[in-house]
A = this chain, B = another copy of it.
């Protein structure tokens, strides 16, 4: 029996697949550079039935976060500034229109949310390793004022392309992968064979673990946020790197298998993917409706559209990713 992987394994994979400098010293886009206008045109060509499937989880207080915790992530808080009850009670004119009734009544609301509390893109500024984030930028580039480098806004006009769903539990004949299952390169290739699709350069690859099906089956989030989970393992790193994909997203809290394979290192794939490769990573995508649609359409490629919000200096963003068949 071999020793478990360590931070040295992580460093070696990081070095091997590093994209620092690949697109210039001032690059902040990382693997989104793999996406070309030709990719976009080809992706649009995949639209044949006009079916649209959204992958965004509801943004509300029934979300997956279990509490403030050390990381400080809580479920979104939605509050009304003014509402229909004010219309019914006759208070709107007095309190919101200065007593002047000009026939209109309106409603407004406010949202308070950690940007990584639900369906989300990580910005490349989300992860540091040895004091550096993607392309070598230092920690002083992300102060209390937010990220000067590698913030989320770089993705706003580059998140349209070919989407590919790799449905791992379907390939393995199970409803979902169990927590702790580490997805391998071979798993991903088996999905490709079974589904008759090959992920490649500039693609948005969505890897389904089925953990949300499990959550729904048991009727509660449980320790979905931060607890044991299926997800990509170290063995999948070469596959992800070699395919030159634009971005990768899964249906779990943290994309990679938990407990992590590296006893000494937390979230090793985040270090390799975000810091070294500059890979854009999506999390908590709801891939259940998409998996159903793919099975019905009998194809696992589609036009993907998923720009983040253009939040200045943000290190993450909620979004509503959509697949168009």
Chain A contact residues, CB within 8 Å of chain B: 7, 10, 36-41, 43-54, 56-62, 67-68, 70-92, 94-98, 102-116, 119, 125-129, 131, 133, 138-147, 153, 156-160, 264-268, 270-271, 303, 305, 307-316, 318-320, 322, 324
Contact = CB atoms under 8 A, between A and B. Distances in A.
Contacts of A106: 71, 126-128, 267, 270
B307 A107 contact: no
Given A37-B50, A115-B109, A140 B84 contact: yes
Contacts of A133: 84
Given A102-B266, A113-B110, A310-B56, A81 B85 contact: no
A152 to B, nearest CB: 9
Question: Nearest 10 CB-CB pairs, A to B?
Answer: A37-B50, A84-B142, A44-B47, A40-B50, A84-B139, A91-B143, A61-B68, A88-B89, A102-B266, A60-B312
Protomer copies: 4
Contacts of A77: 68, 72, 74, 110, 112
B41 A50 contact: yes
A271 B86 CA distance: 17
Contact of A144 (B51, B95, B265, B310): B95
A169 B104 CA distance: 29
B103 A7 contact: yes
A130 B221 CA distance: 39
Nearest to A100: B266
A35 to B, nearest CB: 9
Given A44-B47, A91-B145, A310-B320, A107 B79 contact: no
Contacts of A81: 71-73, 79, 114, 144
A313 B78 contact: yes
